[in-house]
Amino acid sequence: MLGQPLQIRLLALPGGTDAAETEFDGVQLTATFTALTPPTIRRFGPLSGTSFPLTFSGPSGQSYQVLSSTNVALPLASWWVLSSGTFGVGGPTSTNYTDTGATNATRLYRIRSP
């Protein structure tokens, strides 16, 4: 699981030889690190009435959240989650979102993934 230490667990299967005498040979653990690519906001605006469009992209199959705040200094836990989803699997990874509650007041956006 992401963020957890790697483990090897060796178990004797029921019905096999005496579990106290089970031997394992050639046990290996191979780990591959895959860096996550952060999402990118491609286009935004203009505000039309109370609608503000965003177009963003990210790696295929990776989850995302659209966050909003009126104060950039707030911790992310205090930002509003406006939408969430998964970037297209095996297809376009560009996503469109329109904030229909936007106003002319300051409103900041952030795409968080995963």
pTM of the model: 0.65
CB 33 within 8 A of CB 6: no
Q: What is the CATH number of domain 36-112?
A: 2.60.40
As given in the structure block, the two tokens for residue 108 are 């900041």
In the block, residue with structure tokens 């780990």? 31
Q: Please give the pLDDT value at position 66.
A: 94
Q: Please give the pLDDT value at position 89.
A: 73
Phi, psi dihedrals of residue 13, rounded to the nearest 5°? -80, 140
- Given a cut of 70, the residues of the chain with pLDDT beneath it are 1-3, 12-22, 34, 90-92
Q: Please give the pLDDT value at position 104.
A: 73
Count of beta carbons in the 10 Å neighbourhood of residue 12: 14
Domains of the chain, by residue range, sit at: 36-112
CB 54 within 8 A of CB 41: yes
